[in-house]
Chain A
Amino acid sequence: MDGRFFNIIRRFQDRPKVGATPADVVHAENKWRLLRYRSEQRSGVPILLIPSLINRHYVLDLMPGKSFAEYLVAQGHDVFIIDWGTPEKEDRFLTFEDIVLGYIGRAVRKAASYSPTGKTHLLGYCLGGTLATIYTALEGDKVESMVNLAAPIRFNDDGMLSAFSKIPTLNLELMVKAFGNVPWPLMQFGFHLLKPTLNMSKAVYMLEKAWDDQFLDGFFAIETWGNDNVSFPGAVFLKYIKELYQEDLLHKGEFYLDGRQVDLHNINCPLLNITFEHDHIVPWKSAAVLNELVGTDEPDLMHMRGGHVGAVVSRKASKGLWPDISNWYRGHEPSANLRLA
């Protein structure tokens, strides 16, 4: 048993760097930055990765050999990612409009400016996918295609997050008044409650695999990411919980942004919607429902085994999910479509 502990400590001390794929900052505004991964061989329509607003972007660039961004770059794609940064106290006043129409809009236009077609592919993960979907429904003219990874669209489900958001004795306005931005430790505590014994079973699993250095590197990287969260800008949080979780307005087609109705039927670009069977954060049906609501002819749905994070960053993903996504993009390059025609 001592040997196991020794190996865990040794690997922890030598753990690989997270978010290590080389990238250049092509735009910076308030706390967010738009990064473009370096590559000698990139071509085609750029792919803009939009991570969740409340997690660090490097989940999509976890560590060398286990990085979705690194994989896409190696396949010759031109890859951009939004790093949302860390909101400060003054960002409590940021609105949903600022994030979607302002920041995502700017990132899309910047990425599209490097594109041979003047458009960009969007790939949104979790809340990032929801934001990308809302953006595309409102301003889809620069969006070549959309890939959603575990992105909630119908929020009124039987998941525990949905239940938490509807606790009648919890005063959300007061929460924002008291804290400004919703503190990440509070949100992390909420996420831990979704699977109360998860931390303990993760520790035991780590002990079991204590001799597997590759496993330990991945484990520490994902734990680093999982414990490196950011607070939720207050005004955005209020609209998100009240109008999306409590009233489920996006799914009902009654969600408004800047006075404009977000009609998901306006989305006409190619869509690949990816859901995960054991996702306890975004129940897969809540994400899959998007395919019934968009105007796209025959949107693609990929339903896979695995959970919300593991399925996206695991070793298995590098042999299944990532090549599938890359191939889907290759099939939806405008030049590829011309060749087919």
Chain B
Amino acid sequence: MNLWSTWKKGFDIWERTTASYLEEVIQNPLVMNTSGHALTAFMKAKAASDSSMAKWWGSVGLPTKRDQERTLHALNQMQSRLMDLEERLEEMDRN
């Protein structure tokens, strides 16, 4: 038990020091900007690859992933509009 308490005390000190050090490092503009650059570069590559894939898909006359997403979204929006209408009709019935 004593061994655990001693180890725990040491851990707590290490944790406090490391946490404040890491928070400082992470908030450093150099680290933040570099991470931002890296993530942006990755996203640029992904967006470009998705776009070329969509172009190829579209060139053979097939709907792209984005087309399908837009269609599904439009269906969901239509469901919501129908529910709006139902609500209005119920309200008119009540009045």
Residue of A nearest to B17 (CB): A197
Q: A92-B69, A163-B32, A169-B40 are in contact. Are A29 and B80 (CB under 8 A)?
A: yes
B65 touches A89 (CB 8 A): yes
A265 interface residue, CB < 8 Å from B?
A: no
Q: Determine how close the nearest CB of chain A comes to the CB of B87; give it in whole angstroms.
A: 7
State in angstroms the CA–CA spacing of A163 and B36 once bound together: 12
Q: Within 8 Å CB of A201, what residues of B?
A: 11, 15
Q: Within 8 Å CB of A24, what residues of B?
A: none
Q: A89-B65, A90-B70, A196-B19 are in contact. Are A169 and B33 (CB under 8 A)?
A: yes
Residue of A nearest to B87 (CB): A109
B23 touches A160 (CB 8 A): yes
Q: Indicate the size class of the contact surface on chain B.
A: 35 or more
Q: A29-B79, A168-B33, A169-B33 are in contact. Are A196 and B43 (CB under 8 A)?
A: no
Q: Determine how close the nearest CB of chain B comes to the CB of A196; give it in whole angstroms.
A: 4
A contact face: mostly helix, strand, loop, or mixed = helix
Contact with B along A148-165 (1 / 0, CB 8 A): 000000000000100110
- Which of A92, A168, A178, A200 makes the CB contact (< 8 A) with B43? A178
B69 touches A90 (CB 8 A): yes
Q: Within 8 Å CB of A164, what residues of B?
A: 32
Number of interface residues of A (CB under 8 A): 35
State in angstroms the CA–CA spacing of A319 and B69 once bound together: 47
B18 touches A178 (CB 8 A): no
Q: Determine how close the nearest CB of chain A comes to the CB of B78; give it in whole angstroms.
A: 11
Which residues of B from 36 to 71 have beta carbons under 8 Å from A?
36-37, 39-40, 42-44, 46-47, 50, 65, 68-71
B85 interface residue, CB < 8 Å from A?
A: no
Residue of A nearest to B18 (CB): A197
Which residues of A from 84 to 104 have beta carbons under 8 Å from B?
88-94, 98, 102
Residue of B nearest to A93 (CB): B73
Q: Determine how close the nearest CB of chain A comes to the CB of B62; give it in whole angstroms.
A: 17
State in angstroms the CA–CA spacing of A171 and B50 once bound together: 17
B26 interface residue, CB < 8 Å from A?
A: yes
B79 touches A178 (CB 8 A): no
Which residues of A from 164 to 207 have beta carbons under 8 Å from B?
164, 167-171, 174-175, 177-180, 193, 195-197, 200-201, 204
User: Across the A-B interface, how many residue pairs have beta carbons closer than 8 Å?
Assistant: 92
- Which of B8, B32, B65, B76 makes the CB contact (< 8 A) with A204? B8
A90 touches B72 (CB 8 A): yes
B92 interface residue, CB < 8 Å from A?
A: no
State in angstroms the CA–CA spacing of A218 and B90 once bound together: 44
Which residues of A from 285 to 338 have beta carbons under 8 Å from B?
none
A212 interface residue, CB < 8 Å from B?
A: no
B43 touches A174 (CB 8 A): yes
Q: A180-B69, A197-B15, A208-B8 are in contact. Are A30 and B43 (CB under 8 A)?
A: no
- Which of B19, B40, B70, B80 makes the CB contact (< 8 A) with A197? B19
Contact with A along B25-36 (1 / 0, CB 8 A): 011000011111
Q: Within 8 Å CB of A42, what residues of B?
A: none
Q: A30-B76, A196-B26 are in contact. Are A178 and B50 (CB under 8 A)?
A: yes
Q: A163-B27, A196-B26, A204-B8 are in contact. Are A175 and B43 (CB under 8 A)?
A: yes
State in angstroms the CA–CA spacing of A193 and B22 once bound together: 9
Q: Determine how close the nearest CB of chain B comes to the CB of A99; give it in whole angstroms.
A: 11
Q: Within 8 Å CB of B76, what residues of A?
A: 30, 90-91
Which chain B residues have a beta carbon within 8 Å of chain A's beta carbons? 4, 8, 11, 15, 18-19, 22-23, 26-27, 32-37, 39-40, 42-44, 46-47, 50, 65, 68-73, 76-77, 79-80, 83, 87
Ranked nearest first, the 4 interchain pairs of A and B with the lowest CB-CB distance are A169-B36, A90-B72, A170-B36, A178-B43
